[in-house]
Every structure is written in structure tokens, then in C-alpha cells.
Structure 1
Amino acid sequence: MASPGELAQDRRSARRRDRPSLTDPMVGELSSVVGGPIGKHALVGRQRHITPLRVIFAFTVVFLALGWFGKAACIQQAPIGPGGELGLDWSGSRQYVAMCYSDVVPLYGAERLDQGAFPYKKSWEDTGSDGSTITRYMEYPVVAGMYQYVSMQIAHAWSAVPWLPQALTVALYFNVVAFGSALAWIVTIWATTMLAGRRVWDSALAACSPLVIVHVFTNFDALATAFAAGGMLAWARRRPVLAGILLGIGGATKLYPLFLLGPLLVLCLRTGNLRDWTRTAAAAVSAWVLINLPIALLFPRGWSEFFRLNSDRGADPDSIYNVVRSFTGWSGFDGPLAPGEKPVLLNLVTAVLFIAACAAVAYVGMTAPRRPRLAQLGFLVVAGFLLTNKVWSPQYSLWLVPLAVLALPHRRILLAWMTIDALVWVPRMMYYLGVSNKGLPEQYFTTTVVFRDLAVVALCVLIVRQIYRPVDDLVRSSGDDDPAGGVLDGAPDSYPAWVPASLRPRPVAVPVPEHVPAPRAPRSPATDPI
């Protein structure tokens, strides 16, 4: 029988790629929906159209759609004005009862975007919790603030064209923001897939994370994850300047992408490769400065609002400090604050604890028997920041998702953590609803925060354990060294002479797996298509 098409010249199977339906019991059970685990004679990596990346993209789009439908109840319009004018229907605290709350909607009016105001230039008077009057500006870093401004301009331009489908401008604005956030999350998944090495299917869990449904459209954090993952991918492809530029832009969106420079420093120090790190760090700082400098010079008071707000605010409901307060009645490190007074001690404690967490991660990175992978140290640093910071906004958990699937690719463990973290949204909304409106008392919410924090701590413990026992690391036991490592991938240790013995690995007998995979072969589109 003749073949319907010309056979490929290279008909080898990509056996080097992980096949989760055979290696993971949970995936094996799920595969029964589509016919069961892959057969032992199947050709892996030879499908021309239905590639892993395209399948993962399909998963991503489905979960982004679920995320949009989860927020759709909060952009419903109804005749609520005095003359029957249409407005957002948030009657009966719909945003909490329907659990569809998104910062994007109230910020449209709160940041004066509905007036067409330019961020950082426009100011307004606001009343603080103590009754004092405060002059306010756009409270987000420059890239996030300008993203809101551009989205507002697109929404206003859309509403000015009569033959286009129309809705309330705030609803149009939300959809523009959501579309951009969806594209950013797709970029995040693409970069994560490229960073997964032969375990390409690990990124499917990031695409199908419950946290995506709940939080991808809660704020603007998908933009930051795209720059962070893109920066890591540029580093993996040995383009340190581009990596620094992307991390710098990410730091001008949300601060956390810049934290990845710390793990890179530790790993480059361990391998004696500080030149590439210096180029990356210089590019990151330059990109951050170039983005921030025009706004800082033109509107210095508006530009500094982000820093002022973060300095002045107390412990948020999601922080461990508020959890302690809610159960013990503790008045906090600073006690009752006078109007306009900063929580100086709380700021100091959070800074010291984060520095201590970074020092602990650096110690682990330097003393582990085998150089840790970049994603492992990156997860530990970002998790350390969230656990010690006085603010853990719910959507911040998205920061951890790409790092987690790369650092600890144990699907059942990660799914358990993601589910716990996503479910915190339910008591959070019921707590914000208020007991007088049949909501939940604060302790119901803070109890779930404790479970979330314990789940993240457990992930950190497992990652540290695998760092010190690399034989348990699924990435390394599959034959890869560090797919995200770039110049660090396969690099031997080369400590500078000035590093003391206490910061070097101690001689230990590292167990060797019974089956040692074949040496890693160079990848090419012909032999390992994504």
C-alpha cells in the first residue's frame, strides 16, 4: 500500500523525551480518557502537526477561557442609574458572592483612567482609614501603569466607533486588559515549555493550573511572569544581555523578576562565570532605569507613589503577620499607628527576614553536593519573599507557577498545592463580604492562609531535599543537567579562591541511580520537534 505522503528522511523516535502517561500514575489514569498510555512502539516526536507545544497551547487557551468566564459576572451591566442609565451590576456585593472580583474593574475609576488621565501626572485626594486626606497617584510600577493607560486608550477608541459591538467602557477596558494578559500568559507557557528540556509535558501543569482560572485576570501579574520566563529563556539560550533586558522590564512591571538575578549570581559564582552574570545584571539595571527615568524626571511625585504606598501600608490580610494578629489579638511590631505614621518596625522585620531567606538560599546554592538548577533556587527566593513580605496579594501566587513546574516536576504534589492556593479565594471573598452580610469571620480566611503557606513551605523543603540529594531530582535522573542553565548547563564547579571552605560542598557519597541515562544529545528540530 502506498504512503499518503512522502516519508520523513529522519524516522527516529525521540525516546529521550519524558512520556508521562507511562512514568506518572496520575497522568496514566487521565490518559484513559483519550485511549490510554502511549504504546511502546509509538514514534515519539514525529507528529508534524499535533506537537506537545501546540497541545499545551490548547490547554492554555481553555484555562484562560475558564478564567475569563470566572470574572465575567463582574462586568455585567444593568440599568442602575437614576434615569435608567446602564452601569456595572455589583448589587448585592456581586463581586464577592459570585467570586468574580478583579482589581482591573475598580482601578479603572480609582486610578482616574475613566477620565482619560495620564498615569503619574494625574493626582486626586483620597481619605485614609484614619480619616486623613491623602494625595494619591497611580500606584503601580511604570510598565504596569502604562499598560493600564494604553488599555484605556484602546477601550475609548473602540467605544468611539459606532459600528463595533458596544458595552460599558469599563467592560471594554477589562476585556482589553484581559486580552493582553492572556497573550502574556501564553508567552509564559511558551517560555516555560522551552525551559523544560526533555520533560516538555511538565509545563502542561502550568497551563492547566487552577490558579490560572482564579487569578490570571485578577490583576496585571501575567505581564511580569511573561518577562520573568522570557528572561530565563534568553539566559538558557546564552543571550545574557537579552535576559537582563527582559528581567529589567519585568522588574518595572512587578518587582519580582529582578529577584532572579540573585540565584544567577550564586550559580555563576559557583562555576566561576561572573562575566555573563555581570552583563545580565548591567542590562537589567539599565533597562529598569531607562524605563523609569522619563517618568521619574517628569512626574517625580507620581513615580514615587508605588514606593510610598508600599512603605506606608501595614500588613495585608494575606500576610503571616496578619494571620498571627487575627488569632492572638497582637497589635503588631509598631503597635497602633498615628495618622500618617509608617510601620517602621514591620518594614525592618520584613526586610531582615527576606535578606535572611536570600542568604539561606545562597548557602544552599553554594554548599550543595551538585550545583542546583536555576529554577530550584529561583523558586526558593521568590517563595521566601512571599512568605516574609507584609503583602501577599492573591494573584502573586502566579509568580510561583512556572518556577514550580520547572523546579519540582512532581505533578500530584504541585496540583495539591495549586488547588489549596486557588481555594483560598473562596473564604477570602466570603470574608470580604462581611459577617453582617452572611460572610465568614476573619479566622476562617486566615486559617486557609496558614494552609497555603504551609504548602509553599513544604514545596521549599522538598526542593532543598532534592538539591542535596540530586538522585531524587526527576530532571537530572532523566538525563538533563539544567535545561534553564544556559552557560551553567553541564558546567563544572570552579569556586573563586577567596570563597571559604564553609561555603563549599562537603565531600559526600552521592547515590547513583541504578539506570544511568545515555549522555544528552544535541537537540535539533529534526530529531526533537516541539
Structure 2
Amino acid sequence: MPTGLAARDLPAGRVRRSAALAAVVVLLCGLTLALAYVNKARCAGAPFDQDGRSRVFDVIKDRDVCYSDIQFLWLGRDINEHVFPYVSGGITEDGALVGGAVEYPVLSGVLMWLGAIGADNDAEFLRYSALLLVPFALLTAWMLARLAGGAALLWAAGPPLVLYAFHNWELPVVFTAVAAVYVVGALPRFSLRSRGIAAAVLLALGFCLKLYPGIFVLPLLAYVLTGGVERHKDESGRGLDVRGALLTAAAAVGTVVVVNLPFALAGYEGWRASITFQQLRQADITTNSIWYWGLRPMFTHDIAGEASFQQVVSIVSPMLVLAAFALAMWLGWRRYVVTGVFPWVGVSGAMLCGFLLFHKVHSPQYTLWLVPFLVLLEVPWWLIGGYLVADAAIGIGVFRYFYSMGSGTSVELMQSIVQFGVWGRASLLVVLFFVFLWALPRGYRSVRPTAPRSDPSDLVPVS
């Protein structure tokens, strides 16, 4: 039997993290969230116009880098009218959402509606939404602390949480992804099948929030199929658990259907509008992607050139995303052959890198999706630091760039900063793609530097 990874050589193989450390991480996360709210609340407050929009919002949102989608979407989606999403409305021929339709999957739409209950203006909507989102960030901090120890401070007190905690509705979806890892790795008293099914349900709920956790179901299936670390430790050499993998897949699909079906039946046009909106979205200056900054200059600056550019992106982007997924799964399987354990967390992280790199939209707040993998896996800190610098160039620079364009001042400096962020982030995503696939979990080290990193006898927990 090939040398494999011990249970402790997996994220949360043994959860022996200090409860005191977890409490400190959660406390610091709460303080960071308070700072994050203050940062965004600078754009909100009296006086308000007749629709409840803060008059200061349009004046300073880019200049002072306090813009948030939460505050922006108070208007334009009938949120200010307290219309329950999806069951009415739809999308016009020119791609405008009307009558309560929103561009996000259904659970995010429900969170938006809940945040607006009792709100009469965008400042209250931002505040109530923040209160709704805070528990997800705190629970994520607690789980990461239990899984990875002090490295969880990267989530709890890092720049991304300050910049993006209340930029959009990302915190609940990140929680579902981290919770899936926690369930699989930190609850060994339950069978792998049971943990796999529970994790699949969590990932499916994440899919119903922001889609991306759905891609992690495939590596989870491979992990359950191959029996995880339990199968590696079983000397009987039993075969693949096809039934367990099928049950895990069924749990994911069933959850998505159960969540979406009521909305589709109650108002199909409003439900379908969110999908159509994303299909129609173009790779423009607001998407921060390699496509706009790298490919767009190769086309003419007229209507025909723009149409050709968008057509190429609509074909090439999904093809490259799928190719990245396939490569991650293949490399993950090769590691399974060598070690005896399929690295489903590392493969999930690599797939996310492929998605972020090649998708036509790369919004700044997507960094929150990536941070848990930087916490859970043994990624060099210099690499993390480099990524955070590139991310800040986007998260701050892009709004200053928009302000420069709107105010008529010189844009050369801010455009250079944005391009640095775009290409710095893209190049580091390529590196992280491969680092994730072979990284050990944080908190373990080899007692013999020359020993193979996959030998469980040489891995000891770091106190």
C-alpha cells in the first residue's frame, strides 16, 4: 500500500487547537468587523433624498473608497420597496432587472430582503445587513482557528475583511465553504459518508448563495469515493465507495433543487432573471479581469470590435475555467495515487484559483473566498503578502481610478496601480493553483527535513 497522509496531515485531521486561541481570534474578528463597518458607513447617513439614498454616497463613494454594493443596491432592485425577491419581476431585453428580481442566487436575495426589513434608507439597510452578516464571519473565524490555529488571524484581522466584509454578501457563502471543510475534517466520530453528505449540503447551500462552493462538490466526491484517510488506514484494502459518492452527489443536487424549486414555481421569470443577468454580463472596466486589461486592447475601439471581444470572452473564458477544473482534479488524483489520500481541500482551492483567473468577472470582494485556503493550507507567507498587496491595489486603486476618470484629473497613476493589481493577482493565482495542490495543512512540520513530506511518521503537530 502506498505511503499516505495520516489524519493529522489533513485540514483538521486532529482539532487540538486551544479554546482560548479561538476566543481571541473571534474577538479580534469582531473588532475588525467593527472597523470594516465604520469604513463603509462613511458613505451613508443624513441627509437623504426622497428614495432614502444618502446624498453623500455619490459624492464620496469612489474618492474616499467607501463604496459598497450593499448600499448601492438599496435602489434599483425594489429592495427599498421591501418586495420579496424573485416571485415577481424579470429582466428586460437590454438586461435591466425589474420588479424585485436580483442578480444573485436565491439565498443571497433572501438575505438582501431580510436586511431591508425595517430600513427606510440606505444607511439603515447597510447597518441591518451588517448585523445580519456578522455572525457568519465570527463563526468562520472560530472554525478556522480550530482548524489552523493562529493562522486564522489572516481571516480575522487581515486587510480583506476590512475592505470587503460589508462590500457585498460574501460572508455567508464563505461560512458554508469553511463549514464543509470543518465537518469533513473535525468530526471523526461520524462516518465519512455522513460527513460527506453533510458537507455536500453545506456546499449546495453555498451554491444557492454565490455559486462558487458548488465547484467543491466534485473533489469532495473524489474524497468520499476513495475513502479519505479512513480508507488509507484500513489494512483490508477495500475498494472504492461508489455508493457513498453517489449519496454525496445526490445530497448536493437535492439541496439545490429543494432551495430553488419554490422560487422557480412561484415566479419563474423572476427566478430565471438572475441567471440571465449573469449570462449577459460583459467583461468591461468594472470587472477587474485579465480579459479587459489583457485582451480588449487587441480589438478595435468601435462597436464591431467590442462585439467581437465579448464574443471571444464568452467562449474562451468558460473553456479555460473548465480546463483548469479538469487539471486540478487530474493532479489531485495523481497525488492520491502517491499518498493514498485525495487532497480535496487543496484541489478545491486550485479550482477556485482557476475560476478567479479565467472568469470574465473578478470583483474585489472575491478575495474573501480565497483567504480560508490561505489559512488552512501551508502557503508561504511571502506569497500571501504579495497577493494581499496586489489585492489592495485593486480594492483601493480601482475606486480611486473611477474617481479620477469622473473628476477629469489625470488617470495614469491610478490606472498603473490597477493594472499592477490585475496582473499581480493573476500571476499569483497561477502559483497558488499548484501550491494548493501539494500543500500540507498549517500546524504540522517534518521532524526530519530530508524526509518525504507525505510520510505520516515524520509529521508532528506544532504546539
TM-score normalised over the length of structure 2: 0.81
- SS of residue matched to 2:61: helix
Q: What's the offset of the Cα at 1:232?
A: 1.9
Asked if the contact 1:350/1:388 (under 8 Å) is kept, the reply is yes
Q: Which amino acid aligns with 2:400?
A: M
Match of 1:10 in 2: none
**Structure 1 residues 475 and 374: alpha-carbon distance in aligned structure 2, compared to 1, 3 A threshold:** farther
Match of 1:72 in 2: 41
Match of 1:276 in 2: 244
Question: Of the candidates 453, 456, 460, which is equivalent to residue 426 of structure 2?
Answer: 453
Q: How does 1:17-96 map to 2 (within 5 A)?
A: 51-78=20-47, 88-90=54-56, 93-96=59-62
Match of 1:40 in 2: none
**Structure 1 residues 432 and 124: alpha-carbon distance in aligned structure 2, compared to 1, 3 A threshold:** farther
Q: What's the offset of the Cα at 1:439?
A: 6.2
Indicate the percent of aligned positions where both proteins have the same amino acid.
Answer: 24
Work out the CA distance in 2 between the residues paired with 1:294 and 1:319: 34
Question: Of the candidates 361, 364, 373, which is equivalent to residue 328 of structure 2?
Answer: 361
Q: What's the offset of the Cα at 1:326?
A: 5.2
Match of 1:143 in 2: 107
**Residue 180 (str. 1) matches residue 132 (str. 2):** yes
- Extract unaligned runs of 5+ from structure 2: 1-7, 9-15, 228-239
Work out the CA distance in 1 between the residues paired with 2:303 and 2:374: 32
Work out the CA distance in 2 between the residues paired with 1:77 and 1:414: 39
- SS of residue matched to 1:318: coil
Work out the CA distance in 1 between the residues paired with 2:224 and 2:53: 55
Q: How does 1:164-313 map to 2 (within 5 A)?
A: 169-196=121-148, 200-236=149-185, 237=187, 238=192, 239-271=195-227, 272-313=240-281
Q: What's the offset of the Cα at 1:119?
A: 0.9
With 212-221 and 238-247 compared, the bigger mean Cα shift is at: 238-247
Q: Deviations over 1:376-433 (max 9, x none)?
A: 1111011111111111111111101112211234334323322321332222002222
Q: Which has the higher contact order (CA 8 A, sep 6+)?
A: 2
Asked if the contact 1:224/1:254 (under 8 Å) is kept, the reply is yes
Work out the CA distance in 1 between the residues paired with 2:57 and 2:213: 38
Question: Of the candidates 57, 65, 74, which is equivalent to residue 99 of structure 1?
Answer: 65
Q: Which amino acid aligns with 1:252?
A: C
Q: What's the offset of the Cα at 1:188?
A: 1.6
Match of 1:348 in 2: 315
Q: How does 1:113-152 map to 2 (within 5 A)?
A: 113-123=79-89, 128=94, 137-152=101-116
Work out the CA distance in 1 between the residues paired with 2:152 and 2:76: 36
- SS of residue matched to 1:109: coil
Work out the CA distance in 1 between the residues paired with 2:394 and 2:46: 28
Asked if the contact 1:357/1:384 (under 8 Å) is kept, the reply is yes
Asked if the contact 2:222/2:342 (under 8 Å) is kept, the reply is no
Q: What's the offset of the Cα at 1:220?
A: 0.2
Asked if the contact 2:222/2:245 (under 8 Å) is kept, the reply is no
Aligned residues: 420
Work out the CA distance in 1 between the residues paired with 2:426 and 2:344: 23
Q: Which amino acid aligns with 1:144?
A: S
**Residue 382 (str. 1) matches residue 352 (str. 2):** yes
- SS of residue matched to 2:47: strand
**Residue 373 (str. 1) matches residue 346 (str. 2):** no
Q: Deviations over 1:297-353 (max 9, x none)?
A: 110011011210111111143111111145545679984339xxx955433322211
Asked if the contact 1:430/1:439 (under 8 Å) is kept, the reply is no
Work out the CA distance in 2 between the residues paired with 1:452 and 1:518: 32
- Kindly name which structure, 1 or 2, has the bigger radius of gyration based on alpha carbons: 1
1 or 2, which has the higher helix percentage? 2
Asked if the contact 1:334/1:343 (under 8 Å) is kept, the reply is no
Work out the CA distance in 2 between the residues paired with 1:133 and 1:46: 49
**Structure 1 residues 429 and 46: alpha-carbon distance in aligned structure 2, compared to 1, 3 A threshold:** closer
Q: Which amino acid aligns with 1:246?
A: L
- SS of residue matched to 1:477: strand
Q: Which amino acid aligns with 1:346?
A: V
Asked if the contact 1:334/1:346 (under 8 Å) is kept, the reply is no
Q: Which amino acid aligns with 1:93?
A: V
- SS of residue matched to 2:167: coil
Q: Deviations over 1:24-81 (max 9, x none)?
A: xxxxxxxxxxxxxxxxxxxxx898xx71100111121121112111101111222667
Q: What's the offset of the Cα at 1:179?
A: 1.3
Asked if the contact 2:36/2:161 (under 8 Å) is kept, the reply is yes
Q: Which amino acid aligns with 1:377?
A: V
TM-score normalised over the length of structure 1: 0.71
- Extract unaligned runs of 5+ from structure 1: 1-15, 17-44, 157-167, 480-508, 521-527
- SS of residue matched to 1:399: helix
**Structure 1 residues 269 and 330: alpha-carbon distance in aligned structure 2, compared to 1, 3 A threshold:** farther
Over aligned residues, Cα RMSD in angstroms? 3.5
**Residue 410 (str. 1) matches residue 380 (str. 2):** yes
- SS of residue matched to 2:38: helix
**Structure 1 residues 334 and 510: alpha-carbon distance in aligned structure 2, compared to 1, 3 A threshold:** farther
Match of 1:319 in 2: 289
